[in-house]
Amino acid sequence: MQLRHARSILFLPASNARAIAKVRTLPCDMVILDLEDAVPDDAKDSARDAAVAALAEGFGERIAAVRINVEGTPWHGVEMVALKTAAADYVVLPKVEHPRQVKDVFSVCHKPVIAMIESAQGVLAAVEIARAEGCAGLFMGNNDLRKDLCIPAGAGREGLSHAMQAVVLAARAAGIAVFDGVFNRLDDAAGLEAECAEGYRQGFDGKTLIHPAQVTVANQMFGPDAQALADARRLVEAATGGAERFEGRMIETMHVEEARALIARAEAVGA
């Protein structure tokens, strides 16, 4: 599966063997074994070894990635070296504020990097980060970004909207994937659905998640709508080239390309 086709991206602690076993039964499109926030300092080394072993066993058709610790920590270098030969599809790098950080990880791991944008400086540098050698995608790190922008924890996402759209613009200009941040309230299915819908409208490819119960909602909200998919197939079949009338509206090559992209996404996720 191409990265841009991923709808649901589930973080789980690399130190949690039960979670790793369970994720192989879930319909998520991408798995991220976390070595950073989800793992206490005294478990970093064992979590790294567990991540490498889990990657060797594989995750079926799911995209597999590892989030490493930020540069300057004692674990950053050894994790990069370990992932150089591990079976990860991507390396997720937290707290990116400069394209050099992406280049450094890519040069060691020789694997595409997904950069997490988690600060005001990261947002302002997002265009350069997205174009850095080895950068394959951007993640919104809204929790840290909210703190950096001094937005109250209980506030909605209005104060983040400019930053989020700036990151989408940076990713699209560079031709790479971009994913919405996590939803923290585990017992609020309606809130998750609303936030997924908002992220979809803003142009994100999918959503990062922190609990297995969130996977189904993300897949539904970021997956191709049945009606839209049927419309796309009719449009492609009817198009003959150039500007023309289709079901009461004018279409041209751009609309045909959009329809084909929607069909390709549906086929990629089995919709």
Tally the domains of the chain.
2
Tell me: do 192 and 263 sit in the same domain: no
Tell me: do 175 and 217 sit in the same domain: yes
What CATH number does the domain containing 199 carry? 3.20.20.60
Q: Which residue has the tokens 């990629």?
A: 268
Tell me: do 163 and 256 sit in the same domain: no
Mean pLDDT of 153-165: 91
Q: What is the pTM of this model?
A: 0.91
Tell me: do 79 and 208 sit in the same domain: yes
Tell me: do 230 and 213 sit in the same domain: no
Give the per-residue pLDDT at 262: 86
Give the per-residue pLDDT at 258: 86
Tell me: do 97 and 123 sit in the same domain: yes
Give the per-residue pLDDT at 242: 82
Spatial distance between the Cα atoms of 244 and 254, rounded to a whole number of angstroms: 12
What pLDDT digit, counting tens, does each position of 162-175 carry? 999 999 999 999 99
Give the per-residue pLDDT at 62: 97
Tell me the pLDDT band of 155, cut-offs 50, 70 and 90: confident
- Kindly give the pairing relationship between strand 90-93 and strand 206-209: unpaired
Tell me: do 155 and 235 sit in the same domain: no
Residues spanned by the domain of 19? 3-222
Tell me: do 66 and 178 sit in the same domain: yes
What pLDDT digit, counting tens, does each position of 87-142 carry? 999 999 999 999 999 999 999 999 999 999 999 999 999 999 999 999 999 999 99
Residue 249: pLDDT over 70: yes
What angle (nearest 5°) sits at the alpha carbon of residue 145, between those of residues 73 and 39?
40
Tell me: do 10 and 87 sit in the same domain: yes
Residue 271: pLDDT over 80: no
Residue 263 Cα distances to 13, 216, 268, 270, angstroms: 34, 20, 9, 10
Tell me: do 180 and 152 sit in the same domain: yes
Mean pLDDT of 37-52: 95
